[in-house]
Structure 1
């Protein structure tokens, strides 16, 4: 759900003083919004189908966590060089390349599953797709400010997040139905097809260049390692991005495996079918839809600090309640609360990075941010699912919930607590 954390002095139009068109009057934005909505619908199929495929084949929640962890490791390692690639490459072509690559990788699963069910293929294909997912996510964050105006970034992110949530709302339920009738592998095949449509659609989107010539010359001087450290240094020097990265690292460790936990809770502890798993996750995406409509107003009224801290504090409370729930209906409501909170916090975080980061550094800063705060995610997914298998879902959720609330409230003592940390001067630095 997918997804999603996500992440200037962003546009030549903004720098030249020209008034950018309204969001809905911008054809490039409309096309980009449309193809990403379709891609999100496909993502929701794999979001449900891959854990179900592993669970059907192995019956093990630990194996589910292993696939999640391997994908996370692949994404983190890719993050070490993803920002450099994005800042050097033609970003539209890179988006298309990553879509085609994921299309081919995911298409392998249903094709092979016709003849056999080798689990090694899942362990190979899904992490490989994670490599291209990370490249896409970094490029995606840099593209949004290159399509819309600087004052439209938060609204655009909200719209994109909202259409993603809307497409995902029915996706998990439909994926659960397809998985029940045709098997999880067929649902993964549908995701492969949507990547192809997304790649074709991006072909028609015009993306303004953003200082990539300067970025290329810097890479040639410093090398890939040096350029990755440029992003790290920018994060560390910023009074808000620095504590944000540290706290998100801890939060990611705790929450990375929550989807697996919810699926295991509904499927095994509560004894419901795959279709019910899909409906529960679909109910959860309603929270994402609400977050997309509310995020711009929430941030405008409360400011960044209160929005981010409050969202994660409520998220921790919802996880705690999840551990005490024995009703599928309540689990669905709590899943919606979880995604509402992470939607608010994630959109605010991504928008802030886009606002304060110079355009030619945005790829490297985004990659450094995601690589750093995601580093503990795979370990967390393995630890959370192992804890669920060992001490049960209830105890695991109670521990995660209390920890998330405490970490979120710690943000009050850091630069995150600032109401308006946006600093236009930093964008032009």
Structure 2
């Protein structure tokens, strides 16, 4: 019997009285902060080596390709096996890859072919890490605690987005220049991320879940399990509508933002890597504020969560389009902070709604589909956006992406399935 079933009929203890939750939260917090160093350093490394937005797009696509191909398989494996064990293996692989990248940069042996290979490996490991991490939390806490647990985790991630890029920009910026000095700054950023993975692995090693001692029926193949998960999501009309909406938005908007922000900092702003760190920090800070506001806003809108998301995306699109006119780090940071607030408000409510709506046996596959819409499609879109920058200006890229987001969100206001996101499950549906 797991912790959740034992607590169904009693008032759950405070979240941080749960040892396994503390371990997961602590290790994930350190790892999330470390990730920001690579998210700032890797684009900067590629641009310094090549000066090409198209090359940056290809690196992001190299991570996206195995992630897109294997993420759904990763979700199926999570539902078959232990989410904790799969997460241990995936984060261990990421630690080795980032440490290898750090070593190549610090020794001056780094070259683009090595970056492409490492990016492929990181993408493959991430394909298993994301669904495993998303499925592990519901195994550790009672159902009534999912909303506050998600709030803590998303708040922690946004805090890492707020603090991490600024620290990364500081580490890289203090070694600004060319040659060995800049390599030391970039290499140190990757070393910090690799060390953060080790802290996460230590915490995961100490966690115990009921699934660790269970073996599940393996009668069907993995691809059959994936197909069953897709059918489950497709049969749930509001959930299907949200997944399709998120996929379309990511395809048209996610990629241009991933490529556009590093290019904006590199080509228009006077602080270089520090400007990129400030922009990302402002967005993370906005999401942190939005996360604190989320539960209050969600209670105010009740069952109209879909309407809330669409209205906020309309406003976010207009703010992103305005980046076409920005040449100042301060103005760019203000715009991205506003976008972050809008995104942060919606995220906690959406993820909690999905976790409470989906049967536990389907959690890994459902979360892998959700992650696929954001993290599998986005970098492919980034590769296309990097190539598009050869034909259009940076301002046109931002204006087009932002206005497309607003147009998609406004058009979807007429869709009753999207407007119905947030309503209770129909009678007889699995809980």
With normalisation by structure 2, the TM-score equals: 0.90
| Structure 1 range deviating more: 376-385 or 105-114 | 376-385
Partners of 2:212 and 2:341 in 1: how far apart?
32
| Structure 1 range deviating more: 382-391 or 141-150 | 382-391
Match 1:64 to one of 56, 59, 66:
56
Q: For residues 101-137 of structure 1, what are the alpha-carbon distances to aligned partners after superposition, in whole Å with 9 as ceiling and x for unaligned?
A: 1111100012122141221111111221122222111
* Residue 28 of structure 1: aligned partner: 20
* Residue 141 of structure 1: aligned partner: 134
Secondary structure of the equivalent of 1:391? coil
Secondary structure of the equivalent of 2:206? coil
Establish whether residue 221 from structure 1 lines up as the match of residue 219 from structure 2.
Answer: yes
Q: How much has 1:32 moved relative to structure 2?
A: 1.5
Establish whether residue 44 from structure 1 lines up as the match of residue 43 from structure 2.
Answer: no
Q: How much has 1:424 moved relative to structure 2?
A: 8.1
Kept after mapping to 1: 8 A contact 2:246/2:373: no
Partners of 1:22 and 1:389 in 2: how far apart?
54
* Residue 246 of structure 1: aligned partner: 244
* Residue 3 of structure 1: aligned partner: none
* Residue 339 of structure 2: aligned partner: 338
Q: 1:127 to 1:355 in 2, by over 3 A?
A: same
Structure 2: stretches of 5+ with no match in the other structure: 176-183
Match 1:421 to one of 412, 423, 427:
423
Q: How much has 1:337 moved relative to structure 2?
A: 2.2
Partners of 1:209 and 1:423 in 2: how far apart?
27
Structure 1: stretches of 5+ with no match in the other structure: 1-8
Partners of 1:171 and 1:373 in 2: how far apart?
21
Partners of 1:10 and 1:300 in 2: how far apart?
27
Establish whether residue 368 from structure 1 lines up as the match of residue 369 from structure 2.
Answer: yes
| Structure 1 range deviating more: 264-273 or 138-147 | 264-273
Q: How much has 1:293 moved relative to structure 2?
A: 0.8
Kept after mapping to 1: 8 A contact 2:294/2:348: yes
Q: 1:211 to 1:377 in 2, by over 3 A?
A: farther
* Residue 67 of structure 2: aligned partner: 75
Partners of 1:155 and 1:351 in 2: how far apart?
9
Secondary structure of the equivalent of 2:219? helix
Q: How much has 1:262 moved relative to structure 2?
A: 1.1
Q: How much has 1:373 moved relative to structure 2?
A: 6.1
Partners of 1:35 and 1:221 in 2: how far apart?
35
Q: How much has 1:208 moved relative to structure 2?
A: 4.2
Q: 1:341 to 1:67 in 2, by over 3 A?
A: farther
Q: 1:242 to 1:144 in 2, by over 3 A?
A: same
Partners of 1:94 and 1:426 in 2: how far apart?
33
* Residue 312 of structure 2: aligned partner: 311
Partners of 2:143 and 2:269 in 1: how far apart?
47
**Number of residue pairs the alignment of both structures matches:** 416
* Residue 263 of structure 2: aligned partner: 264
* Residue 155 of structure 1: aligned partner: 148
Q: How much has 1:426 moved relative to structure 2?
A: 6.2
